[in-house]
Amino acid sequence: MTSESVLTVTDMSKSFGVVRALKGVDFELRDGEVHGLIGENGSGKSTLTSIIAGQQNADGGRMTYQGAPWAPASVNAALEAGVGMVVQESGTVPGVSVAENMFLGDAGRFRGPWGLVDRRAMNRQARTSLAAIGIDGVDPAAVTGSLDFQTRKLVELARVMRHDPKVIVVDETTTALSQAGRETLYRLMDAQKRRGAVVFISHDLEEIMAVCDRLTVLRDGELIRTFDKHHFDADAIRGAMIGRTLEGQYYREDTTATARPPVVLRAEHLRVQDKVRDVSLSVHSGEIVGIGGLSHSGMHELGKALFGAIRLDGGHVTANGVRITNEQRAVRAAMGYVSKDRDTESLSLTASIRDNIASAGLHLIGRGRGGLITRGAERRYVREPMEQLAVKATGSSQVVGTD
């Protein structure tokens, strides 16, 4: 028996300058389902869901929610009507408390007879809302910016869930969560199915096939195919994502070399606070070395330590013959670092794409008279990685933080 549609999207289009992010997309969310959205970066997943959740407006098309026309004027308007979203990036205000984040735009409910906000009452309600979704040990009075990224995402989730939404959109949230955090999210999504529906965005194909009832593939702003649960097939889904059938193994096969390549990165007896304790490792040329663990296991601190982005309490790192003591030396040793928290650690959101790319390679860009970088040399330096990675933008001068 087919469930009724709780939300529909018809012929939706959206452009950012010359970039067409959505091209006539049709989408249906049914009552009682977890519906997965999957696709490569730039496929339109986040654009589609941000329009559904009131973050931005479509250029064309129409939507319905519970049988009525749907065009939310804002995120708060959507949430009040029962459509909430946990965003891919940080969705909290770092300089205020957990409780204030949970009641953004709604603090008036706690005003007393003198017009002052009753902080104690707000904290009590925030603690209750956190406990309702199984989150304990978070102080509602704590400054949100002092919390780790995982805890901030759980605060976002609690903020959405306290509104008892009919529809929730979860955009790439599990990448920031430990296994325990993921289990909390999966449990909430399963409960949400019984009172509404979930749109779940993930790049993890195994995860999305496990938790979703249906799955829609987007590619280059177009809806390619929707799969029902009993038709889930990893190879078919990957083929829909990239536009061709994959021959053989998707990932490279390991080969046994007769002579081991040279070591290009070596860490010896690293210690960082109480997070990293006497860790040593070597990376050989041509290798991909994975470092895994739970969110608080120290793997993120180890990554920063290898790049010189965090102070060592012991040990040392060498890359390509260069002793790594800070980020500048790491860059000059031909190292790169991509943080899990890209908005605050990897990007300058108010600067252009060109300035963001060039800032990491100023020593590599050709210079003119007087040692000054010329615009032409900078443009040439930036053009190659943008083309290689198929960056979708109006141009290199586009500000990173704009849609």
E strand residue ranges, 184-242: 197-201, 214-219, 222-228
Token output for 256: 């046994």
Per-residue pLDDT in tens (0 to 9) along the chain, 403 residues: 467 999 999 999 999 888 889 999 999 999 999 999 999 888 899 999 999 999 999 999 999 999 999 999 999 899 999 999 988 766 788 888 998 888 887 777 778 777 788 888 889 999 999 998 888 888 999 998 888 877 888 888 888 888 889 999 998 877 767 777 788 889 889 989 999 999 999 888 999 999 999 999 999 999 999 999 999 999 999 999 988 655 544 444 554 555 678 999 999 999 998 889 999 999 999 899 998 876 678 888 899 999 998 999 999 999 988 999 998 898 888 898 888 777 677 788 888 888 888 887 777 776 766 677 778 888 888 888 888 888 878 888 888 876 5
Q: What are residue 277's phi and psi, to 5 degrees?
A: -130, 105
pLDDT in tens, 284-341: 998 999 988 766 788 888 999 999 989 999 999 999 889 999 988 988 888 988 887 7
Helices within 7-148 (DSSP H only)? 45-52, 75-81, 98-102, 119-132
Q: Are 55 and 166 found together in one domain? A: yes
Q: Which residues contact 185 (CB under 8 A, 6 or more apart)?
A: 157, 170, 173, 174, 177
8 A C-beta contact, residue 102 and residue 96: no
Report d(CA 370, CA 232) in Å as an integer.
61
What's the total number of domains in the chain?
3
Q: Are 332 and 191 found together in one domain? A: no
Q: What are residue 212's phi and psi, to 5 degrees?
A: -100, 150
Q: What angle do CA 218, 220, 226 make, to 5 degrees?
A: 15
Evaluate whether residue 392 is within a structural domain: yes
Residue with tokens 């500000």: 399
Looking at residue 37, its pLDDT comes to 95
Looking at residue 250, its pLDDT comes to 46
Evaluate whether residue 114 is within a structural domain: yes
Q: Are 85 and 48 found together in one domain? A: yes
Q: Are 136 and 281 found together in one domain? A: no
8 A C-beta contact, residue 97 and residue 144: yes
Q: Are 83 and 142 found together in one domain? A: yes
Looking at residue 42, its pLDDT comes to 83
Looking at residue 114, its pLDDT comes to 78
Report d(CA 268, CA 270) in Å as an integer.
6
Assign 3-state DSSP to the chain and report helix, strand, coil percentages, each to 5: 35, 25, 40
Report d(CA 305, CA 294) in Å as an integer.
17
Helix (H, G, I), strand (E, B) or coil at 343: helix
Looking at residue 209, its pLDDT comes to 94
The distance of Cα 92 from the centroid of its chain, to the nearest Å, equals 14
How crowded is residue 260: how many other Cβ atoms within 10 Å of its Cβ?
11
Look at residues 326, 346, 366 and tell me which one is the last residue of a structural domain.
346
Looking at residue 52, its pLDDT comes to 96
Q: Are 288 and 377 found together in one domain? A: no
Looking at residue 384, its pLDDT comes to 87
Element (H, E) at 285: none
Give the burial class of 181: count Cβ atoms within 10 A of its Cβ; 0-12 exposed, 13-18 middle, 19 or more buried.
buried
Q: What are residue 15's phi and psi, to 5 degrees?
A: -125, 150
* Structural domain span for residue 25: 5-242
Q: Are 230 and 366 found together in one domain? A: no
Evaluate whether residue 233 is within a structural domain: yes
Looking at residue 64, its pLDDT comes to 97
Q: Are 340 and 373 found together in one domain? A: no
Looking at residue 340, its pLDDT comes to 75
Q: Are 267 and 333 found together in one domain? A: yes
Q: Are 223 and 237 found together in one domain? A: yes
Report d(CA 388, CA 370) in Å as an integer.
31
How crowded is residue 83: how many other Cβ atoms within 10 Å of its Cβ?
29
Length of the chain: 403
Helix (H, G, I), strand (E, B) or coil at 110: helix
Evaluate whether residue 39 is within a structural domain: yes
Evaluate whether residue 254 is within a structural domain: no
8 A C-beta contact, residue 188 and residue 157: yes
Question: Which of 217, 223, 251 has the alpha carbon at shortest distance from 236?
Answer: 217
CATH number at 267 reads 3.40.50.300
Residue with tokens 């999210």: 185
Report d(CA 271, CA 267) in Å as an integer.
10
Token output for 7: 């939300």
8 A C-beta contact, residue 222 and residue 23: yes
Evaluate whether residue 255 is within a structural domain: no
Evaluate whether residue 252 is within a structural domain: no
The DSSP result for 144-179, as a single string, is: GGGS-HHHHHHHHHHHHHTT--SEEEEES-GGG--H
Looking at residue 251, its pLDDT comes to 46
